[in-house]
Amino acid sequence: MATLPVGDRGQKKKRIITLVLMAIFLMSASFFLIDRKEETMIIVSFPNGRELETEVADTPEKLLVGLAFR
């Protein structure tokens, strides 16, 4: 197995660190840029006292696709 010269190894390490930092920056930036619209949640109360928190499909797209697989 051929070994890289010390200078090439340093550049490769620097490139990997730069890519990792860029990936972390992009993921953290996307966290703040996503549209966080409050979901429509209601609580359904049954006669026996049990409560169920449910999400409402209130747009035509949600009705068409459904609320599964998210």
Query: What is the per-residue pLDDT for 39?
Result: 67
Q: How many helices and strands in the chain, by DSSP H and E?
A: 2, 2
Report residue 59 as tokens: 């747009």
* 3-class secondary structure, 35: coil
Q: Model's pTM, two decimal places? A: 0.42
Residue owning tokens 């190894």: 9
Give Cα separations from 10 to 1, 7, 24 (angstroms): 18, 5, 21
Q: pLDDT tens digit string along 19-34? A: 999 999 998 888 777 7
The candidate with the shortest Cα–Cα distance to 23, out of 12, 11, 35, 31, is 31
